[in-house]
A = this chain, B = another copy of it.
Amino acid sequence: MRPDAPKISLTDVVFPDRANHYGTLFGGHALHLMGKAAFIAATRHARQHVVMASTDRITFDEPVRVGDLIHEDALSGHRRLAVRGTFEMVAVDANGRPTPISVSQDHNEVQEEAVT
């Protein structure tokens, strides 16, 4: 992780409207949530309007079930790591075009927390 990568912690719950028909979080929704986390972290870091420029490899390690809480941060712990990836966000000018100043959001992670 780059030392200056901004950090953010999002928490959410997987209700059925984000699930596939196997009862687990649809991968596309997981990507959407990670993209939102990257957007918020980069906005706070740059204090400029930002857009997504690229993502590096994102891996899905564990299925996240309906009813689970998900947690996105960089802390290790007893939670299982479900998804991780790196997002590059770039600041944009008034015309929505990228500007040279960019910020990399390393190691966005979705952690899965079962409620038993």
Contacts and interface: CB of A to CB of B under 8 A. Distances in A.
Interface of A: 8-24, 26-36, 38-40, 43-44, 47-49, 51-60, 63, 66-67, 69, 85, 92, 96-97, 113, 115-116
Interface class of chain A by DSSP:
mixed
Contact of A28 (B16, B31, B57): B31
Given A16-B16, A54-B59, 7 more contacts: A10-B12, A17-B17, A17-B18, A22-B96, A55-B55, A55-B85, A56-B57
Contacts of A39: 13, 20, 26-28
Nearest to A52: B27
A69 to B, nearest CB: 6
